[in-house]
Chain A
């Protein structure tokens, strides 16, 4: 049985509202207030639809800025919830989504599905970014997999990156699809949440197969590919890791060191021999999956 709520919706509303009013001008603030008053007191699908669709023309599309304190507040409201790269219009739209009536799952899904079906690109981004705040999460799992199938890069990023929903609710097959598609389309993999928790033997093998395919074609693979293999070492993957040790790309060797440090596999641990300098740097936090990812994307843009 899955939970009905992923977050206290009133608290989430207040949080988004406070973020917005701190950054928008008086006119936009009045518009937002007028709309949430309307949605709270006389909700109708029509009112919701108009508010959701027209938000950018009244509140603008500037970036949303968060203080470190607000970032941790976001995480307290909903574990893993981040507003990384959000804009004012997106935040406003999601605030409105939090005013959908929650008495009845079918009603909630029926209203929001129509919005999903007729959404333009920025609306889709807002809808998928809202997934971790929605009630009845199990009703939105299929929609989440639709977001993973999209060909529109910003939409895929809204589902796959900085979003706690997929790791918590997708089945193994769908989760593996998300990871592999993110690799394929060159996303920054550390921004996928829950990789450690959702790593599995099938995914580890998929990653190894992917590397072999690329290597056979004389192409490089991102070192981030090895993040999920740590606890699923087999003979093939062990050989793959040995290959990383020989790489003249420092990022590949850094990735190997991180895998070795996290792994409890004796032969994997042994690979650290001769890499003491990197091991020390890793332990001092001088590099991480994040820094490897950032540097890889910088170099292979």
Chain B
């Protein structure tokens, strides 16, 4: 059975059913970028507790399902527009970015491409440079092509090597430039607004598997947490080699974020056996029967 990494998923918005489904589909590790919550926060304490949730409770929750949970920490572009709040958030970021399991600064970048977005994007690039962490960049929905080019320009301007930068939410219009300039090109398989499955297959056919990887970007909106394994299956059906699928759905994401020094394949839990203990903790609660599943007995249909 193939194993997968979903390098962009907002687990705090997902249920335990999703975690179970992810694990059954072969997802062994996830990366949760810090983002906004669908409505703006008004206090720095809300950010603090959110970041603490990402490195605490959510990490533990994922581990109960045999999934290794990592995160990237940052001030997202939407909320960068509240300057007074943004200043306070910048002050607490250093408390988090050096933590175990924090594999990057993210997701940061542009939304409306305002002056304030630009200011805090740049400040966070400096932070990432100092901590020697990869950067996970959210590219805008509107005026995407320009916003994506600009994001890369600014990274270069700040002396950040392209291999330390993941440009996320790419599409057919942005992928060529991203790859040509040596950046990682991530694609969010997200219904309607970002990328569809079948389009993704065509992109891999056209551009190959070097420095390309996919994620679900699943969050509180209508999204599909199984986007990575489902797309892998579609790629297999449409004749893409197993090696390329492995690169696009696992290895490239791993190589990009493992540059943080905070992500180790040896920490992944390869087989689920809930009668064993993950991380020293029984996942069994309230008298549920153990669900024991060996990898060779499970095929994704």
By a beta-carbon cutoff of 8 Å, the part of chain A in contact with chain B is 49-50, 53-54, 56-57, 85, 114, 117-124, 151-154, 157, 185-186, 219, 301
In the complex, what distance in Å separates the CA atom of A118 from the CA atom of B95?
7
- Residue in contact with B48 in the complex, picked from A117, A120, A185, A219, CB distance below 8 Å: A117
Contact A120 B281 (CB under 8 A): no
B57 to chain A, nearest CB (A): 6
Contact A153 B60 (CB under 8 A): yes
In the complex, what distance in Å separates the CA atom of A283 from the CA atom of B48?
55
Can you sample 12 A-B contacts with CB below 8 Å? A49-B95, A57-B100, A57-B261, A114-B95, A117-B52, A118-B51, A118-B92, A118-B96, A122-B100, A152-B56, A153-B60, A186-B284
Contact A121 B281 (CB under 8 A): no
Specify which chain B residues have a CB less than 8 angstroms from the CB of A123 in the assembled complex: 99-100
- Residue in contact with A153 in the complex, picked from B48, B100, B261, B281, CB distance below 8 Å: B281
**Known contacts A117-B52, A120-B59: A53-B279 contact under CB 8 Å:** no
Contact B51 A151 (CB under 8 A): no
Contact B52 A118 (CB under 8 A): yes
Is residue B55 within 8 Å, beta carbon to beta carbon, of the partner chain? yes
A148 to chain B, nearest CB (A): 16
Contact B98 A301 (CB under 8 A): no
Interface residue SS majority, chain A: helix
**Known contacts A117-B52, A120-B55, A124-B56: A154-B281 contact under CB 8 Å:** yes
In B263-301, the 8 Å CB interface with A consists of: 275, 279-282, 284-285, 287
Contact A152 B261 (CB under 8 A): no
Smallest CB gap from B262: residue in A: A57
Apart from A114-B95, A157-B281, list 6 A-B contacts with CB within 8 A: A53-B100, A120-B100, A123-B99, A152-B56, A152-B57, A154-B279
In the complex, what distance in Å separates the CA atom of A157 from the CA atom of B280?
10
Specify which chain A residues have a CB less than 8 angstroms from the CB of B60 in the assembled complex: 121, 151-154
Specify which chain B residues have a CB less than 8 angstroms from the CB of A122 in the assembled complex: 100
Is residue B229 within 8 Å, beta carbon to beta carbon, of the partner chain? no
- Residue in contact with B98 in the complex, picked from A53, A85, A124, CB distance below 8 Å: A53
A239 to chain B, nearest CB (A): 25
Number of contacts between A and B (CB, 8 Å)? Answer: 60
A106 to chain B, nearest CB (A): 21
Specify which chain B residues have a CB less than 8 angstroms from the CB of A219 in the assembled complex: 287
In this complex, the member of A114, A151, A153 whose beta carbon has the largest number of chain B beta carbons within 10 angstroms is: A153
Contact B52 A301 (CB under 8 A): no
Task: For chain B, give the interface size range.
Answer: 20 to 34
B33 to chain A, nearest CB (A): 16
A251 to chain B, nearest CB (A): 18
Smallest CB gap from B60: residue in A: A152
Contact B100 A56 (CB under 8 A): yes
A290 to chain B, nearest CB (A): 19
B91 to chain A, nearest CB (A): 12
Smallest CB gap from B51: residue in A: A118
Specify which chain A residues have a CB less than 8 angstroms from the CB of B57 in the assembled complex: 151-152
Smallest CB gap from B63: residue in A: A121
Specify which chain A residues have a CB less than 8 angstroms from the CB of B74 in the assembled complex: none
Specify which chain B residues have a CB less than 8 angstroms from the CB of A152 in the assembled complex: 56-57, 60
Smallest CB gap from B276: residue in A: A301
In B98-129, the 8 Å CB interface with A consists of: 98-101
A43 to chain B, nearest CB (A): 18
Smallest CB gap from A53: residue in B: B98
In the complex, what distance in Å separates the CA atom of A85 from the CA atom of B279?
12
Smallest CB gap from B45: residue in A: A117
Specify which chain B residues have a CB less than 8 angstroms from the CB of A56 in the assembled complex: 100
**Known contacts A118-B48, A154-B281, A301-B282: A50-B56 contact under CB 8 Å:** no
Specify which chain B residues have a CB less than 8 angstroms from the CB of A85 in the assembled complex: 280
In this complex, the member of A114, A121, A157 whose beta carbon has the largest number of chain B beta carbons within 10 angstroms is: A121
In the complex, what distance in Å separates the CA atom of A121 from the CA atom of B281?
13
A30 to chain B, nearest CB (A): 19
In the complex, what distance in Å separates the CA atom of A154 from the CA atom of B55?
14
Specify which chain A residues have a CB less than 8 angstroms from the CB of B101 in the assembled complex: 120
- Residue in contact with A121 in the complex, picked from B55, B262, B287, CB distance below 8 Å: B55
In the complex, what distance in Å separates the CA atom of A56 from the CA atom of B264?
13
In the complex, what distance in Å separates the CA atom of A154 from the CA atom of B60?
9
Contact A121 B56 (CB under 8 A): yes
